[in-house]
Structure 1
């Protein structure tokens, strides 16, 4: 029997009722009791629970490799071990107490300010996990530089714009501008929607990642990747992004913008000439209506006449049935996110499966603390069955041609594998058991093979935790043998069988843009079906974006159109194939154009010295006298007096973070270090540190031990003639997982008899 457990509360109220703030930090609903453990490395404390041991040790080694890269490119060492909390799935991740609010489906990781904690889930792809982990560790470095080495640990004292923080994290974690980001740039250049650099601080949507990443790559290409770390340090020192740009590059954002826009246009205009809009390949079925009405995960019926998709609406994610001929909406089959049975439809990674007779669809959903498999009657809209297997995550169900079995990918302990369920008796069969990624399985028309997405191949090195691009693999059901299709350059996802099983269609970005390809399984010949400006894409680069009807008559796909994803169809796709010979990649076209560009004017070293000297004089003249530094009497291991965190200086609220470890370094010292620092290529550094991994045998697991630290400290004293001294003070402390919270508060009004005291404990 499984019990639903909510956080218990031990409350002691003295004198009067507790104030409203006492509810701060109350735990979320938990569906599982996690038995936590830790792994300690040179720079990290990894927190994990039973069932994800193998994945947690991989995370520990990946974190150390990422630290090796980031500490060199950012020229900084974090003085204390960084806490990293890993969860076996997004479902478990959403139960964390570290974040008080609901974590949306699209959040892949979080870096928290107060205790500098990084927490994130496994997704079944170690390659994706490595990317997200490194992205979040960039934030850990940023936070330590911004708030951990100065005299002010308040995040509201200065906050760089989101594009700066997220763009830097994305670029430093990938060491390139990936095809998904280039899609955004290509569209922005074509439509004239490129936001000027000096206005990017007003952008708060997904462009802070995509455009921010491209800006950082532009700066790295123009000035050198090592200058990104210098830019961050000067941003910390001057508490101004504009000034930091002037000090680092000799120009401000507004002046740099002309070169940036010219760079984007010269790089992407030549590509657009040879690319098509989606109307040139097919018919639009559903038009996007902004981010509040986006069509995702399309699945076409076996006869090609109907299509189901997940509509990302303003308030919910719904499964909608429409005509695959003209796009007419037929009905909403299911309203998601409105009941505990369908808390999430897993719209980012999943596809939907049709039964061979076209009467049922299969789809996953989050229900409580697990993902379940649902089978729905398309005619009535009734859910016929809900199958529970206690999986951490479940994606992309596909019916066998006989309709009696379903294959799907599922995650346990952070690893993804292929599973099959026999519907008659719900017998569950595991079909793979290895560390490789498994996604998007599809039965062949004869039921003997399963095509799926995997990262196995020559570019994957399990020993050194190097994972290649996704490829299309084929599993022989009878023998269990797995082969990878030849010519799998770049990303290759969402395999779909041709009507006779002689071809496989898939999405590939082998020439820099995600498009539809069809490969003949007999002679290996490759044909391209689309050549789109923004490609055939889903909401993220690995989302399933298309579906091919079993009779081969029609394909439906989604494509990005500026503010959302639209749904298109292609009739008789096998009649529209073009023989594909690898053309000049779009990156090579762009490189040729960039090499022909006239270099931008940059200030000479002498001019830069004049600028720096002038700024120093103005800054020093306006700066107040610096207070004399006092030596701290705190010794290592000495108990910290928490009352010292209360601000006695007046009626203000103080957010307590880690105590500063050092004072800001002088600007001259930063500049001298930058001048003598060798030039670093981020791509070369990434390759050089590939094997910077601690030995697995050097890492040991230990029990979880609670370490208490403040989450919130505030005080507001005042004096009034009618009551005398009065005020209030509050403090909240918790352990590293925020599973145990102590809250203490006092409101004093002249005397103890007229005061309120509060003590609360949550777990």
Structure 2
């Protein structure tokens, strides 16, 4: 929260003050400023020195030492450009920036993109600068695919935002499945056994979505369903219709875009697509066995919809798996392998603060041979590390960084317990490595250009089976790179290729208990099934014949694990869920298959044959036939920062004219600028809200080149507040006694001109230290708006005399308000320690914790020390969250004359908002008046029970795709006091003395008898309230919280107080 200073509110028989809240500073303080109170960190663990290569159509930014890799990527850039250009019929007039990172851990530290980059993000293309940002992936196939996918987005942005009349507003017309589906189809084509598995699943479950359902719900994964849809469009109407359809949708919206392109409506198109899927897959279902082999151990009832990366212990008793069971994060669970009973959460991102994320997408862990320890890969401190956990106790035994291999996956523990083998990515090269626990030595087992993947030790430890593209990479013409099996002799390093199902993806190999067979997954017939291969004879058997398939989150995710006793645990995909089954090898019905036989008919997306112009698949099938850019045409260039706009936001313009207040203007604009790598950023904002005096502006520069964030900001911000004062002066009017009533509305503007220097050091994703130094000059301007009336009580008449507005001296406002409005200067120094491991729901945090401990010293006109302690904890007990907060701040020293702190804001305690006192005409009708809520020190305690009410199906009680709300029960407590005040724990504050009442001119008030009028002095009492509220996320722009509160200290209030807060849940 911002630390807000507000005016002291007071009322006596002739005057009362009202706060006019102006949040102009929120419009001009920059995009990031409001997020710095809390928020998790994107830590840059190392400084990357980028270089540049230029090709005809691209500026390639890189820092890797593997120059041959960079040039090969630059060549593939140009090949993809050639392919996509034939579809889009568009050319890049300027070279398009492509920024490569050495691996995914480095990619997650990127400054190019704001916010967190998750494990599942393979690449990003942003629109303002049309930058492609991506890491080198673990396999050549995935790197090539992601590059082709992201370049489609670059063409999409260039087409819509370049020479065309479309703009960013038009992008909102295009649903995500169209954008991502096109990128998938243009970079993969019709032959995609993985997406075909999803479509067969949709057919099998009678859940083929309509175009409307694809657009209006988040049930259907946009990449897979979008790819299948575009395959249908291209194969049915020709690839030449793809771009016109896309552009029509951008211009006119989806409904009219369909009608304009095809001549019929979306319902007809949906029916045609559904018919195509059914006609393609119905014949394949007849000869397929649907009985799932084995015992269902983990499903969506005891786990979640996503239960992946299974690993069974060598003795077959235990099972580990990664699951989204806890809703907010992927966690590692331990279960009984036979019953599926969840024993415990082995480790969690929430509790294990040294873990930034689990490497869950395409990796599985490994059991020690005694089934007592478990090793797995995590993201930690800017790289992948191996974490070894003692299973019985849950304690971490080892956390190991694997040398130059900064990205690691797919572990296997040797039978003697001394070593772990894994796939490591170093300088864009995916090889096999081993780590010896005794010697602490890392050994590189393979060292070549090929992608070696998913290693697994034999039961005697002499061999390692793995999957590799060494027999397929660049051997054919197509863009896809298939994987075959290979076996490594640990002693000699000799590699034997296992020739089986050439051209298929043969993945996840595991030795049988006796070491004579290899169990593996293959898509050799377009399906994804389990196979066995006898090492001695080459005999190959199909063990399952599933219509959907055995799969993890991606095609390359591990989905199979085998114990020493041939217990086979696998992940079965059905109804968009991943369910784990446990079966004995003997439970499967074996069918011998010719190892040289493949048929990918079932892996083709509907319809199986293209009727129209088939440019995309023809080009993809001849990917390597396109000429490569000569290496000497890839030229080095000097890196230039090239500051350009990243984003701009406007609040629009509003003009109002009032005879009383005059003309007013409301408008605001924000802009963000950065260099090409996002290492230097400028945030600028300007706004006006009222008259010309209410103009505010700020500009902030942030440097993110190193681990330290450094910045400087300049700002001019007007804060408004106001109060009302009424005086009655005896007079004679029309020969009758009466009073001249003057209703004076004072609008006071506090102008703050400030310069701030700040820096922060992120210790981890959770913790950081912030330092600040700033100086400000504050001045005031007071405008008085006066209505004059004559009241004649004897004849019950009131006459309006007129109105005026004028600038008045601050001294007049001081007399009316009760404290001085002198200009003042402040210099601030601060240091803060911040932690944030919270998980946000739709309107507020629902799990984890936050804290901020800050010390601020202010000197200048005033001189005081201001500490802040803010502690917050969120405990999720589904379906609710128990949330608690302790907050306190204060001023210790000379702060007399500076307006006090106020504890009655609804984001602190509800039921005591300043306006509610006057709306109820009861500011001081009991001893607990509004003055009880202001002081030089405040303390707050809050408890809430939060229930996600409407929103995402897995989170909220009522499913909604557009209305996101939380229902909350709350108890608030707050106290404001000054140095020397006595505090009493009772409902109403006691009278502890008296003081003389002063009039608006600061003079003592005398009664008719000539005696001074005395007013009571009260002790300080904490304020308590309880009630119910509903927070509403308003289209992601802000959070609105209407509430009903029972303010227990306001005994004169007989009904709950209604109020509205504008802030996310604390």
Q: Could you state the TM-score of these two structures normalised by the residue count of structure 1?
A: 0.81
Q: In structure 2, what is the equivalent of residue 739 of structure 1?
A: 679
Is 143-152 or 133-142 further displaced after alignment? 143-152
- Cα deviation, 1:546-600, whole Å, max 9, x if unaligned, reads 1111232x10000112132000011143874321247997754799997999x9x
Q: Take 2:551 and 2:689, find their aligned partners in 1: how far apart are those partners?
A: 62
1:711 is the counterpart of 2:651: no
- Cα deviation, 1:347-371, whole Å, max 9, x if unaligned, reads 1111111111111111111111111
Higher RCO (CA-CA < 8 Å; seq separation 6+): 1
Task: Note closer, same or farther for the CA distance 1:686–1:593 as it changes in structure 2 (3 Å cut).
Answer: closer
The two structures, once aligned, show a CA RMSD in angstroms of 3.0
Q: Take 1:742 and 1:294, find their aligned partners in 2: how far apart are those partners?
A: 41
1:297 is the counterpart of 2:309: yes
1:510 is the counterpart of 2:524: yes
Q: Take 1:400 and 1:584, find their aligned partners in 2: how far apart are those partners?
A: 34
| Contact 1:498–1:504 (Cα < 8 Å) also in 2 | yes
Is 581-590 or 542-551 further displaced after alignment? 581-590
Q: Take 1:742 and 1:409, find their aligned partners in 2: how far apart are those partners?
A: 41
Q: In structure 2, what is the equivalent of residue 284 of structure 1?
A: 296
Alpha-carbon offset, residue 432 of structure 1: 1.4
Q: In structure 2, what is the equivalent of residue 360 of structure 1?
A: 373
| Contact 1:124–1:415 (Cα < 8 Å) also in 2 | yes
| Contact 2:30–2:685 (Cα < 8 Å) also in 1 | no
Alpha-carbon offset, residue 471 of structure 1: 1.4
Q: Take 1:137 and 1:492, find their aligned partners in 2: how far apart are those partners?
A: 28
| Contact 2:307–2:580 (Cα < 8 Å) also in 1 | yes
Q: In structure 2, what is the equivalent of residue 683 of structure 1?
A: 617
Q: In structure 2, what is the equivalent of residue 411 of structure 1?
A: 425
Alpha-carbon offset, residue 273 of structure 1: 2.0
Is 485-494 or 740-749 further displaced after alignment? 740-749
Task: Note closer, same or farther for the CA distance 1:383–1:203 as it changes in structure 2 (3 Å cut).
Answer: same
| Contact 1:89–1:392 (Cα < 8 Å) also in 2 | yes
Q: Take 2:603 and 2:382, find their aligned partners in 1: how far apart are those partners?
A: 48
1:11-410 superposed matches below 5 A: 19-23=28-32, 28-51=42-65, 53-155=67-169, 158-205=172-219, 207-236=221-250, 238-279=251-292, 281-289=293-301, 292-313=304-325, 314-390=327-403, 391-410=405-424
Task: Note closer, same or farther for the CA distance 1:749–1:207 as it changes in structure 2 (3 Å cut).
Answer: closer
Q: Take 1:216 and 1:86, find their aligned partners in 2: how far apart are those partners?
A: 28
Task: Note closer, same or farther for the CA distance 1:369–1:263 as it changes in structure 2 (3 Å cut).
Answer: same
Is 149-158 or 522-531 further displaced after alignment? 149-158
| Contact 1:64–1:692 (Cα < 8 Å) also in 2 | no
Q: In structure 2, what is the equivalent of residue 568 of structure 1?
A: 581
Alpha-carbon offset, residue 459 of structure 1: 5.0
Unaligned runs of 5+ in 2: 1-23, 704-1066
| Contact 1:723–1:750 (Cα < 8 Å) also in 2 | no
| Contact 1:472–1:485 (Cα < 8 Å) also in 2 | yes
1:524 is the counterpart of 2:538: yes
Q: Take 1:290 and 1:583, find their aligned partners in 2: how far apart are those partners?
A: 41
Task: Note closer, same or farther for the CA distance 1:87–1:516 as it changes in structure 2 (3 Å cut).
Answer: same
Task: Note closer, same or farther for the CA distance 1:195–1:157 as it changes in structure 2 (3 Å cut).
Answer: closer
Q: In structure 1, what is the equivalent of residue 636 of structure 2?
A: 701
Task: Note closer, same or farther for the CA distance 1:595–1:549 as it changes in structure 2 (3 Å cut).
Answer: closer
1:578 to 568, 574, 591: 591
Q: Take 2:49 and 2:395, find their aligned partners in 1: how far apart are those partners?
A: 38
Q: Could you state the TM-score of these two structures normalised by the residue count of structure 2?
A: 0.59
Q: In structure 2, what is the equivalent of residue 421 of structure 1?
A: 435
1:441-456 superposed matches below 5 A: 441-456=455-470
| Contact 1:168–1:213 (Cα < 8 Å) also in 2 | yes
| Contact 1:321–1:332 (Cα < 8 Å) also in 2 | yes
Task: Note closer, same or farther for the CA distance 1:207–1:484 as it changes in structure 2 (3 Å cut).
Answer: same
Task: Note closer, same or farther for the CA distance 1:171–1:132 as it changes in structure 2 (3 Å cut).
Answer: same
Alpha-carbon offset, residue 427 of structure 1: 0.8
- Cα deviation, 1:249-301, whole Å, max 9, x if unaligned, reads 3333221222221111111122122223353x211111225995421111111
SS of 2:323 mapped into structure 1? strand
Q: Take 2:449 and 2:263, find their aligned partners in 1: how far apart are those partners?
A: 48
1:484 to 497, 505, 530: 497
Task: Note closer, same or farther for the CA distance 1:329–1:150 as it changes in structure 2 (3 Å cut).
Answer: same
Q: Take 1:33 and 1:470, find their aligned partners in 2: how far apart are those partners?
A: 35
Q: Take 1:212 and 1:513, find their aligned partners in 2: how far apart are those partners?
A: 20
Unaligned runs of 5+ in 1: 1-14, 600-677
Task: Note closer, same or farther for the CA distance 1:337–1:133 as it changes in structure 2 (3 Å cut).
Answer: farther
Q: Take 2:608 and 2:59, find their aligned partners in 1: how far apart are those partners?
A: 46
Task: Note closer, same or farther for the CA distance 1:95–1:133 as it changes in structure 2 (3 Å cut).
Answer: same
Alpha-carbon offset, residue 205 of structure 1: 4.8
Q: Take 1:593 and 1:347, find their aligned partners in 2: how far apart are those partners?
A: 31
Alpha-carbon offset, residue 74 of structure 1: 2.2
Alpha-carbon offset, residue 537 of structure 1: 0.5
Q: Take 1:201 and 1:594, find their aligned partners in 2: how far apart are those partners?
A: 22
Q: Take 2:669 and 2:484, find their aligned partners in 1: how far apart are those partners?
A: 58
1:756 is the counterpart of 2:696: yes
| Contact 1:298–1:546 (Cα < 8 Å) also in 2 | yes
Q: In structure 1, what is the equivalent of residue 1004 of structure 2?
A: none
Q: Take 1:251 and 1:565, find their aligned partners in 2: how far apart are those partners?
A: 37
- Cα deviation, 1:521-548, whole Å, max 9, x if unaligned, reads 1111101111112111101110000111
Alpha-carbon offset, residue 318 of structure 1: 1.7
- Cα deviation, 1:429-479, whole Å, max 9, x if unaligned, reads 1111222112211111222211111111145349x9966201111112222
**Structure ranking higher in helix proportion:** 1
Q: Take 1:515 and 1:592, find their aligned partners in 2: how far apart are those partners?
A: 18
Specify the structure having the higher radius of gyration (Cα).
Answer: 2
| Contact 1:303–1:549 (Cα < 8 Å) also in 2 | yes
Task: Note closer, same or farther for the CA distance 1:334–1:290 as it changes in structure 2 (3 Å cut).
Answer: closer
Is 86-95 or 750-759 further displaced after alignment? 750-759
SS of 2:47 mapped into structure 1? coil
Task: Note closer, same or farther for the CA distance 1:431–1:703 as it changes in structure 2 (3 Å cut).
Answer: farther
Alpha-carbon offset, residue 65 of structure 1: 0.6
Q: In structure 2, what is the equivalent of residue 9 of structure 1?
A: none
Is 715-724 or 451-460 further displaced after alignment? 715-724
Task: Note closer, same or farther for the CA distance 1:207–1:753 as it changes in structure 2 (3 Å cut).
Answer: closer
Q: Take 1:39 and 1:753, find their aligned partners in 2: how far apart are those partners?
A: 51
- Cα deviation, 1:219-265, whole Å, max 9, x if unaligned, reads 222122222233234434x4233333334333332212222211111
| Contact 1:731–1:744 (Cα < 8 Å) also in 2 | yes
Is 439-448 or 720-729 further displaced after alignment? 720-729
Q: Take 2:609 and 2:452, find their aligned partners in 1: how far apart are those partners?
A: 43
1:498 is the counterpart of 2:508: no
Task: Note closer, same or farther for the CA distance 1:49–1:590 as it changes in structure 2 (3 Å cut).
Answer: closer
Q: Take 2:684 and 2:607, find their aligned partners in 1: how far apart are those partners?
A: 61
Q: Take 1:271 and 1:258, find their aligned partners in 2: how far apart are those partners?
A: 21
- Cα deviation, 1:365-419, whole Å, max 9, x if unaligned, reads 1111111111111121111111123532111121111111111111122221111
SS of 1:229 mapped into structure 2? helix
Alpha-carbon offset, residue 725 of structure 1: 6.8
Aligned length: 666
